[in-house]
Amino acid sequence: MDPPTEPSLGFYDYDLLIIGGGSGGLAAAKEAAGLRKKVLILDLMAASPRGIRRGSSFNTDSIRKYLQQTSLLGKAIHDSHSYGWKFKEEVSHGWSDLVQAIQEQVKTSSLELKRELKSCGVFYLNGRGAIVAPHTVEVTETNGRKRCLTAETLLIATGDQPQYLGIPGDKEYCLTSGDLPSLRHPPGRMLVVGGSAEGLEWAGFLFALGMSVTIMLQHDLLPGFDCKMAQKIENHMIVGGVNFLYHCSLIKVKQTEDDVSGDSAAPTQQARRRVTMMYKDGQTKQEDFDTVLLAVGRTACTSDIGLECVGVQCSPDTGRILVDARDQTNVDYIYAIGSVQHGHPSTTGLSVHAGRLLARRLFAGESVLCDYTNIPSVVLTPLEYAACGLTEEKANLMFGENSIEVYHSFYWPLEWTLPARNKNSCYVKVICHIPDQERVVGLHIMGPNAGDVLQGFVTAMKCGLTKQQLDATVGIHPGTAQVLTSLNQTRRMTDALMLRGNC
């Protein structure tokens, strides 16, 4: 549906104009349109340096889930022999079939989303928006046509994008997580640079499909998450066969000289990449990989949308937009939502929730603010990890170690017992604030379906869940979530036993 060019709301063309197609912006648009407001979304997803269009966060999360399911099915096939299943043919995986299925589903989902927006009365334009004056946005359409549109309220929902290292060959010869789902050939032997959540997820996905994977840690493992949980995920991946490189950094990537297949868009074969890495002691080493994936963080998409033209303040460190508790910038008619915000957690579910609340505050007279505490998140690593609330490190820093009690336990899912799989891998811990009736301030789960297991406990934490209430909850048997209702081992007890054993 093309937006009208003539003003129809008096001084402004629109009540709400959203720059970017992030999940929070889409949610705000639908909510505002439902309140009979005139809304326009400007969404032009920039292509990666390799020319691949990046999808919305909805599509990104869907792709992550599809790939996790792919890897889980492979493990289920392996375990099925222990449950009596026999196969007449050898089972193998077809990368091109997977990519085609994912791309078709993403295309279908995108079309359904546009139809939904249209049915809600939201105007959608595939174009780039940049603020050029107060309440005024210059729109550049895909055909190059430019025009200016005005709106009473502007919302920035441009999100973020994968970051590059700024080294020779990184944009020419490396991939990011947004490129891999469109790769027309198997990635082969892969080097993952960085220990971010998306890096570990992709490493796990591809290793489960039988590919050789090496992870080069740049800084912290799973930054922002609980350190002890990150270490357990690392150990699980190492035991499974994923390689890790420590105390080194990537300094150059180039195409190997003996490759003649040319550019990476070749339909069946990609040229090998020769990477140069430097170790902590200054020594360098070269090694060849089929694919190099950069997972070194994400950068906010704020540099080319005209924020400086009207004085919107951004963090000098992150480039993300500074907002107050109402998601409002220092410019009173401009708001920001989602991962483009500075200092707030970023998940698709949170962005959708915040976007709806923002639209209701703007156009329905409501006053409910988005609560950015106790936000659940999930990492789809080979052993799924879900968390809500404080990490153990932050809890100790905030309240002091003597005020924190950590209850924890390993557990063995019943479905893993017949194939005798990974007895001491799954793990939970509950972090409690002792002076506040042992209120649960952090909950961490590592195991099958961890995200789904966590969801109900998130609601309980919002209601002030205590350890006593957790213990009084009847667990569902057989099931893995019941482990959280019977925790009696504490970190202090475990540490004391270890010290006694070393004496």
pLDDT category at 128 given cuts 50, 70, 90 is very high
Dmax of the chain from CA atoms? 82
Fold of 170-296: FAD/NAD(P)-binding domain (3.50.50)
DSSP letters spanning 14-27: EEEEEES--HHHHH
HSE-up of residue 443 (Cα within 13 Å, Cβ side) = 30
The domain ranges of the chain are 1-160+298-372, 170-296, 383-502
Cα gap 26→356, rounded to integer Å? 9
Distance from C-alpha of 127 to C-alpha of 140, rounded to nearest angstrom: 5
d(CA 420, CA 501): 28
CATH topology of domain 1-160+298-372: FAD/NAD(P)-binding domain (3.50.50)
The confidence score (pLDDT) of residue 498 equals: 73
CB-count exposure of residue 315 (10 Å: 0-12, 13-18, 19+): middle
The pLDDT value given to residue 260? 47
Q: What is the mean pLDDT of residues 237-253?
A: 95
In the chain the first and final C-alpha atoms are separated, in Å, by 75
* Predicted pLDDT at 194: 95
3 state DSSP class of 85 = coil
pLDDT band at 45 (very low <50, low <70, confident <90, very high): low
Whether 477 is catalytic is yes
Average pLDDT score over residue span 171-187 = 92
- Tokens standing for residue 329: 């910038």
Q: Encode pLDDT of 411-455 as tens digits.
A: 999 999 999 988 889 999 999 999 999 999 999 999 999 999 999
Q: Under a CB-based contact definition with an 8 Å cutoff, are residues 451 and 65 in contact?
A: no
The alpha carbon torsion through 312, 318, 319, 323 (nearest 10 deg) reads -30
Asked if residue 52 has pLDDT above 80, the reply is no
Q: Which residues, in sequence order, are CB contacts of 154 under 8 Å at separation 6+?
A: 16, 17, 18, 19, 131, 135, 137, 333, 334, 335
What is the pLDDT at residue 271? 78
176: which residues sit within 8 A by CB, 6+ positions away?
48, 162, 164, 293, 294, 295
Spatial distance between the Cα atoms of 432 and 453, rounded to a whole number of angstroms: 19
pLDDT digits (tens, 9 = 90+) for 356-379: 999 999 999 999 999 999 999 999
Q: Compute the mean pLDDT over every residue in the chain, rounded to the nearest whole number.
A: 91
User: What φ, ψ does residue 269 adopt, rounded to 5°?
Assistant: -140, 135
Q: Which amino acid is at 352?
A: V
Phi, psi dihedrals of residue 375, rounded to the nearest 5°? -95, 120
C-alpha 427/C-alpha 439 separation (Å) is 20
Cα within 13 Å of Cα(196), Cβ side: 15
Q: Which fold has domain 383-502?
A: Enolase-like; domain 1 (3.30.390)
Residue 268 pLDDT: 42
Encode pLDDT of 105-117 as tens digits: 999 998 999 999 9
At residue 84, the pLDDT reads 96
Helix (H, G, I), strand (E, B) or coil at 181: helix
Do the domains 383-502 and 170-296 match in fold? no
Give the separation between CA 60 and CA 464, rounded to whole angstroms. 32
Instruction: Name the nearest CA neighbour of 250 among 219, 211, 222, 207.
Output: 219
392-399 and 227-240 helices, crossing angle to 10° = 160
Fill in the DSSP letter of residue 187.
-
Instruction: Please tell me whether residue 42 adopts helix, strand or coil conformation.
Output: strand
Q: So what's the pLDDT on residue 48?
A: 58
